[in-house]
Chains A and B, each alone.
Chain A
Amino acid sequence: MQTFIEVDHYQCPKGNHRMEGDAFLSKKLLPENRVIAVLSDGLGSGVKAGVLSTLTATMAITCVAGDIPIERTAQIINQTLPICSERRIRYATFTIVDIGRNKEVRVLEYDNPPYILMRGGEVVEVPKSHVRLPARYGRKNRIYVSEFVACPGDRIVVFSDGVVQSGMGTAAMPLGWGMEGVKSFLREVVGREYTLSARELAHTLVQKSLWNDALEAKDDITCGVMYFRNPRRTLVLTGPPFAPERDKELVSIFSSYKGKKIICGGTTATIVARELKKKVRVCLKNLDPEVPPPSEMEGADLVTEGILTLGKAAEFLTREVQRPVSTSSGKNAAHLLVEHLLNSDIVDFVVGTRINEAHQDPSMPMELEIRRNIVKRIAHLLEERYLKEVNIQFI
């Protein structure tokens, strides 16, 4: 089976800052099927550091995507960064992970803690060479370069020094958590749940670091994870088929699908329930005035109403917010839908194109969009912003 690269990160700003001073950016270049991710730690903390690290990460991604040699990339970054008014230097770290079509990986590291490669639940040491930068870079003039070919199940874990130094000064870890502490924690967490997603692993590592710091981060804490795994697939059925004779075909797609199954649409749910002789039960807890309640049906992981829920989900995907990882109550159907989509690698939409004429009544509110358009919008967001693979089939 084809391996999918899940890329995700989690971060927490230092102390009471509202903005992180670290940046994690990732990009998928579709024609070459290449994934580039960068973690950068800006000098200091707060907004200023955030600007430095975002600048650095953005330049690094652009340069690497353009195949500019690393020495030149470092030079471009260095010449562009503003000089810190207090410390009189220009500085931001970076770790660049560049993954090619055949899972050949190149990692370029400048002054971040070394990345960790986990293979089969163990930490693997990768030999590194280095590129020396001109003398004016001072003491920190080495960029470490390592190359390997990733195997299915591999995880590349990158993090800022806020992780390694967390807990520093406490009785339990006077010198901080340290690389060895991080490694044994990763072994333990992955050993406990072998298929833990990139998203959850990044979140778990950041939470543990924050815990080491007694819940008040002493520095920005960031972790990014790239996980080469068997893709998690999700099917979303939405809308009744244009020709009612094809109802059975729709239901057979649903029954034979291997992966999570979601139905978005009252009529669609009724069709599936009728054919499979199941009962659909609407959940009357946590009613939301804008989003109709989700339902339960045996064999489906989630059943929701169609257009309004999809519209709201598109809105959530557009707003880039730190997404909560744990499931809690008080979520409406659109939240649940987004959670499922973000936890998948491949999303297969099957869109029925029959129009409900009641929705075309001009006295109906504006929210009633055409299903095809909303699905297209969601698909675009999932591909571009969340690096998912999306397929759409009309029926």
Chain B
Amino acid sequence: MERSNHDRKIHVVICSGTTCYLMGAAELFGIEKALEESLASRISIEGSPCMNLCKGGSYGKAPFVKVNDTLIATATVPKVIEEIRRQAAM
């Protein structure tokens, strides 16, 4: 059976808690539009009410995004896209 990794869905979770939203999470929800069609169709986006990562600072700073199991702190649209590309190429 030839089922390549290219079919695998990439799951993006964006935190929409207070700190993350204030620090730019709203913009991250538009990430699908910033991707080319072939990649956009491979990702699924989900919001989280609060990932509980902003407290204490041990995970870095808000906003937080998870691309599958990889956590991105101080997430920006380019940083998240870069991670999606990296995982898509695997």
Mark A residues whose CB is within 8 Å of B. Answer: 265-267, 269-270, 280-284, 287-290, 292-293, 295, 303, 305-308, 356-359, 364-365, 367-368
Q: Which residue of A lies closest to B27 (CB)?
A: A289
Q: Which chain B residue shows the least CB distance to A266?
A: B50
With contact pairs A356-B19, A367-B22 given, residues A282 and B54 touching in the complex (Cβ less than 8 Å): no
Closest beta carbon of chain B to A369's beta carbon, Å = 11
Does B82 sit at the interface, judged by CB under 8 A?
Answer: no
A292 touches B19 (CB 8 A): no
A108 to chain B, nearest CB (A): 50
Instruction: Tell me if A287 and B50 are in contact (CB < 8 A).
Output: no
Query: When chains A and B are docked, how far (Å) is the Cα of A310 from the Cα of B48?
Result: 19
Cβ-defined contact, B22 with A365, below 8 A:
yes
Chain B, interface size category, equals 20 to 34
| Cross-chain contact A358 with B55 (CB below 8 angstroms) | yes
Given contacts A295-B49, A357-B56, A364-B22, 4 further A-B contacts (CB under 8 A): A287-B26, A292-B26, A303-B49, A306-B18
State whether the Cβ of B78 lies closer than 8 Å to any Cβ in chain A: no
Find out whether the CB atom of B47 lies under 8 angstroms from the CB atom of A270: no
Contact B26 A280 (CB under 8 A): no
Query: Which of A270, A293, A357 is in CB contact (< 8 Å) with B50?
Result: A270
Give the chain A neighbours of B26 by CB distance below 8 A. Answer: 287-290, 292
Residues of A within 8 A of B46 (CB): 282, 284
- Taken together as a complex, chains A and B put the C-alpha atoms of A270 and B48 apart, in Å, by 9
| Inter-chain contacts of B57 with A (CB < 8 A) | 358
Asked if B41 is at the interface (CB within 8 A of a chain A CB), the reply is: no
Chain A contacts for B25, CB-based, 8 A: 292
CA distance A283 to B16 in the complex (A): 11
- CB contact under 8 A between A305 and B56, given known A293-B47, A358-B62, A364-B22: no
A-B contact pairs, 29 of them (CB 8 A): A266-B16, A266-B17, A266-B18, A266-B48, A267-B17, A281-B47, A282-B48, A283-B47, A284-B46, A284-B47, A287-B30, A290-B26, A292-B17, A292-B21, A292-B26, A293-B47, A305-B21, A305-B49, A305-B50, A306-B18, A308-B22, A356-B18, A356-B55, A358-B19, A358-B54, A359-B18, A359-B19, A364-B19, A368-B18
Q: Is the pair B49, A266 in contact by a Cβ cutoff of 8 Å?
A: yes
The smallest C-beta distance from B44 to any residue of chain A, in angstroms, reads 11
Min CB–CB distance A239 → chain B (angstroms): 11
CA distance in complex: A365, B22 (Å): 7
Nearest to A267 among chain B residues (CB) is: B50
B49 cross-chain contacts in A, Cβ below 8 A: 266, 269-270, 280, 282, 295, 303, 305
When distances are taken between beta carbons in the complex, the residues of chain B under 8 Å from A267 are 17, 50, 52
Q: List the B residue with the shortest CB-CB distance to A367.
A: B22
Taken together as a complex, chains A and B put the C-alpha atoms of A368 and B54 apart, in Å, by 14
In the complex, what residues of B have CB within 8 A of residue A308's CB? 18, 21-22
Taking a contact as CB atoms under 8 Å apart, the answer to whether A293 and B19 are in contact is: no
Tell me, yes or no, whether B34 is within 8 Å of chain A by CB: no
Give the shortest distance, in Å, between A271 (CB) and chain B (any CB): 10
Residue of A nearest to B23 (CB): A364
Q: How far is the CB of A336 from the nearest CB of chain B, in Å? A: 15
Instruction: Please tell me if the beta carbons of B22 and A295 are within 8 angstroms of each other in the complex.
Output: no
Which one, A290, A305, A357, A358, contacts B16 given CB within 8 A? A305
Task: Give Cα A122–Cα B41 distance, bound, in whole angstroms.
Answer: 60
* B 17-39 contacts with A by CB, 8 A: 17-19, 21-23, 25-27, 29-30
Q: In the bound complex, what is the Cα–Cα distance between A281 and B56 (angstroms)?
A: 25
